[in-house]
Amino acid sequence: MKAPRLIFGPDPVFPILARQGRISGAVAIEAVIDTEGNVVEMRTVSGHPILALAAMEALRHWKYEPTILGTEAVPVELLVTITFGGRDRRG
């Protein structure tokens, strides 16, 4: 089984408070991707709380290619890292 492939992922909006406070960095989120490729559960693992809210709001709209095991689509857990203030990295 390979990791889910992102097929649609809008960039997160950099929060104004974070920009004004010069807050940047990475947010790591554990996500569950359902059999349709939708993000259905999320939990912040690390990152600044202001950035985490923006990252989770973006991730809520991401869509993945369903993960197939054998001949059936299965839900999977995925660690997604979104970086603010630099290049965005997506899991």
Q: What is the pLDDT of residues 42-56, one digit of tens each?
A: 999 999 999 999 999
CA atoms within 13 A on the CB side of 6: 16
Among residues 14, 38, 25, 13, which one has the least CA distance to residue 81?
25
Looking at residue 4, its pLDDT comes to: 85
Strand-pairing partners, residue 41, are 32
Looking at residue 91, its pLDDT comes to: 47
d(CA 72, CA 65): 13
- Residues in the chain predicted with pLDDT less than 70, given as ranges, are 1-2, 86-91
- Amino acid, res. 12: P
Looking at residue 70, its pLDDT comes to: 87
For the chain, the distance separating the N- and C-terminal CA atoms, rounded to the nearest angstrom, is: 15
Looking at residue 21, its pLDDT comes to: 92
d(CA 7, CA 26): 21
Global confidence as pTM: 0.86
